[in-house]
Structure 1
């Protein structure tokens, strides 16, 4: 860690000890969420999300593939993520980094376990089904890629239109239906700094943290959780954070749905 980072981390810890966040938010308050859907015209679906200064772009493509052997009457979902060098000085070109792999897995797990995409509706004919590819691109980083990525992926999926399939060919210029979405998932990420859990941590708060947890929920259930960093949370703390995540779900869901109008 460079000297300037050490100074920033110490400053953040001092603020948190006084009950103050660097941007003035309360402990359980998200930054402003802005969503623009349909930005990528040659994709089947897309959405750009600004979570504070963190920006993530999601693009969705549908390709015809052979179904998995154990689910011959279903399509598939594949999520990938790329941390672009323009987003942060710490990101480099090359093979997928551990951070990009974790981002893709966390977003995928929430969507998959909540059964957001109706995979049965992706079946086309024997040995052919649509695979839904969700590609996440981090355009600017200021903390909390998990929640920004989840919102972007969910918004892009809701905007997705299925191409026409006729006489054994995909006609991408024609769209026949909306992708069938059965559920909406959202996530809430908390970073623990000086014994206090902060919702939607900034980059500086993340650097000062010693523990992190992401909780993905729909209206009724916790669908996935991801723990990060070396520190931990007590059972009571997790229960409290789950309650916060459920409270946040409705607000995030409403913002996501409004972006589709």
Structure 2
């Protein structure tokens, strides 16, 4: 984005407005659809405005990590398809795709919404491995929230494949999925806010992200009827004051609950 475009957006914000006429704390229209990939154990498509993300869950068996021999494994990957934006090109993973996967992974992992110990098949030998693959289909800002919603919905809708135990080995029967769901409790969601010219805004457009001074993504989780914070990720070169962070945390609680209701419906 050229400097004149950034200044134009900042001038609009300073007048108390946004490019798409939303309120500063307002999200765009969100649509969540489950079961969009028939070959996956679980999948979901999420649209936030013109941003579109698809997440698929695949499961396999493998060896546990040495420091957690009785727990399953979670791996999150993100791919930016070239058709999603003219900025994306084929080739090695981009730095922002790696960041996207890490932020989504952290919110899920730190919320402890998945009981990984229940994914242990044989301690120290075999565990379930859960792979979440995120594909960015269309990018118009706030990929983190869209990818987080898609990933959690895909995990929540997943059905575990059947496990066949042979004499000395295990085999996964992908043709016959069980009715068993992943051992999940609670719903972690990420809510993203940017700062432009001293103004805090939720659910940024791509143009707003390009003009931002700083970004803060807050992960929240519902635990026994109480909301707690489970992750936080800052982006951009600018910073936030203590008062701004306090305001963002308040908005994250409110907006996070709105997003959780959408997942429960989806």
Query: What's the TM-score once normalised by structure 1's chain length?
Result: 0.96
1:145 alignment partner in structure 2:
143
1:223 alignment partner in structure 2:
230
* Structure 2: distance between partners of 1:91 and 1:116: 32
SS in structure 1 of the partner of residue 18 of structure 2: coil
Task: Work out whether 1:249 is the aligned partner of 2:217.
Answer: no
* Structure 2: distance between partners of 1:174 and 1:183: 27
* Structure 2: distance between partners of 1:41 and 1:246: 34
Task: Work out whether 1:20 is the aligned partner of 2:22.
Answer: no
* Structure 2: distance between partners of 1:7 and 1:171: 57
Q: Which residue, 203, 213, 217 being the options, matches 1:214?
A: 217
Q: Per-residue deviation at 1:59?
A: 0.5
* Structure 2: distance between partners of 1:48 and 1:60: 12
* Structure 2: distance between partners of 1:13 and 1:229: 16
Q: Per-residue deviation at 1:179?
A: 1.1
Cα offsets for 1:208-260 (capped at 9, x unmatched):
1111110111132111100111100011110110010001122111101111x
Gapped runs of 5+ residues in structure 1?
none
Write out aligned runs for 1:114-193 (5 A): 114-126=111-123, 127-167=125-165, 168-176=170-178, 177-193=180-196
* Structure 2: distance between partners of 1:112 and 1:134: 12
SS in structure 1 of the partner of residue 131 of structure 2: strand
Count residues in correspondence.
256
Q: Per-residue deviation at 1:9?
A: 2.1
Q: Per-residue deviation at 1:189?
A: 0.6
Q: Which residue, 71, 76, 79 being the options, matches 1:74?
A: 71
* Structure 2: distance between partners of 1:124 and 1:161: 17
* Structure 1: distance between partners of 2:137 and 2:251: 28
* Structure 2: distance between partners of 1:78 and 1:120: 16
SS in structure 1 of the partner of residue 59 of structure 2: strand
Q: Per-residue deviation at 1:8?
A: 2.9
SS in structure 1 of the partner of residue 25 of structure 2: coil
Q: Which residue, 249, 258, 265 being the options, matches 1:258?
A: 265
Q: Per-residue deviation at 1:169?
A: 1.3
SS in structure 2 of the partner of residue 242 of structure 1: helix
Q: Per-residue deviation at 1:109?
A: 0.4
Gapped runs of 5+ residues in structure 2?
none
Task: Work out whether 1:10 is the aligned partner of 2:7.
Answer: yes
Cα offsets for 1:57-91 (capped at 9, x unmatched):
00000010101111111101110101111000001
* Structure 1: distance between partners of 2:191 and 2:257: 12
Runs of 4+ in structure 1 deviating by more than 4 angstroms, as ranges, are none
Q: Which residue, 194, 203, 206 being the options, matches 1:203?
A: 206
